[in-house]
């Protein structure tokens, strides 16, 4: 496993991180599989474990708290997030100072930790003044309850730059990291966010590297959807909406490139993200140890320039030369 700094901070994370967004914790057998997956991750050099208070109604945090307690705390980088409702009250949501402080305390209790390494705003809160949010996060750093803070989805380049202006004006602890969705099927952050992050020294920890399973190669054009896959879940319309002829044609062409490199599509898709120097890591879920074993092979795998160019042609994107001062 290789490691990278999170932006200009001194914090180092494994290139492949383990996320808990879709971890199945229902039943003893499922929890045992999840526990073995975490053990395998740690044994293979994964040091970054990503969670959120909204995942499984807090059960994901409590699970991580129980499992990670067996490992030396100094060897772990643990994150959580704040924004989504944690109760029925009008203040049990959003990015107010009250909700941030209370949610952080609950996350620490759930995970049996004295501090979180990374703490993200899960979404943007249009009902709360941005200065209030940033002051609260900076104060948590001063209190030692979090070491670094950042943001996730709905924070475009303009919002990041506005946050930076407030931070500089008030002398707050810096915004260190963003966690956007980024994969071969969704490259929106290349248009603006990557440049802003490079200019401000903000790290990028991406999630959904396999586009909900689209980039694993399990969904093939003209073939039935595999039994038990996410596309068979009645409530999971997101993956079904992505199984268009256009996307499946793209997958077929990408598989040819991966085959030529001697790896499967999932490994190539994750390695492609890591080819971007501004990316600190890819956060991937794993429902079983075998998936994790495959994911970690992406760390250190280098895709040749000609294959990178072919991937750009397949995905319909032009690579931009960036000169960031």
Would you say the C-alpha torsion 81, 87, 88, 89 has a positive or negative sign? negative
Q: Active-site positions? A: 55
Calpha distance 279→4 (Å, rounded): 9
* Selection from 46, 8, 87 nearest residue 291 by Cα: 46
* 3-state per-residue secondary structure call for 21-37: CCCCCCCHHHHHHHHHH
Calpha distance 100→92 (Å, rounded): 9
Q: What kind and span of H or E run contains 115?
A: none
Calpha distance 46→6 (Å, rounded): 15
Torsion of CA 101, 102, 108, 112, to 10 degrees: 150
Are 47 and 76 contacting, i.e. CB atoms less than 8 angstroms apart?
A: yes
């Amino acid at each position: 496993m290789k490691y990278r700094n999170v932006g200009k901070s001194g914090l180092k994370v494994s290139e492949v991180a383990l996320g808990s967004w879709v971890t199945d914790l229902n039943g003893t057998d499922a929890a045992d599989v999840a526990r073995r997956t975490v053990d395998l991750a740690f044994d293979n050099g994964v040091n970054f474990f990503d969670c959120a208070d909204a995942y499984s109604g807090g059960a994901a945090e409590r699970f991580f708290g129980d499992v990670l307690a067996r490992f030396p705390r100094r060897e772990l980088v643990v994150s959580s997030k704040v924004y989504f409702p944690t109760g029925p009250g009008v203040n049990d949501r959003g990015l107010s100072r009250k909700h941030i402080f209370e949610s952080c305390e609950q996350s620490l209790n759930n995970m049996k930790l004295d501090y979180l390494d990374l703490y993200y705003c899960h979404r943007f809160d249009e009902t709360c003044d941005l200065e209030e949010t940033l002051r609260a996060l900076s104060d948590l750093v001063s209190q030692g309850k979090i070491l670094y803070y950042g943001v996730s989805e709905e924070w475009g380049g303009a919002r990041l730059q506005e946050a930076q202006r407030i931070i500089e004006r008030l002398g707050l602890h810096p915004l260190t990291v963003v966690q956007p969705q980024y994969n071969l099927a969704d490259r929106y952050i290349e248009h603006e966010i990557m440049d802003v992050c490079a200019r401000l020294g903000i790290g990028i920890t991406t999630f959904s590297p396999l586009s909900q399973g689209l980039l694993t190669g399990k969904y093939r054009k003209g073939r039935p959807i595999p039994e038990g896959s996410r596309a068979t879940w009645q409530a999971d319309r997101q993956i079904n909406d992505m199984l268009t002829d256009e996307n499946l044609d793209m997958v077929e062409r990408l598989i040819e490139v991966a085959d030529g490199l001697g790896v499967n599509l999932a490994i190539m898709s994750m390695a492609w993200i890591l080819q971007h120097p501004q990316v600190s890591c890819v956060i991937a879920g794993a429902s079983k140890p075998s998936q994790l074993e495959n994911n970690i092979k992406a760390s250190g795998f280098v895709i040749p320039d000609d294959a990178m160019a072919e991937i750009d042609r397949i995905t319909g994107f032009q690579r931009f030369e960036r000169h960031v001062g």
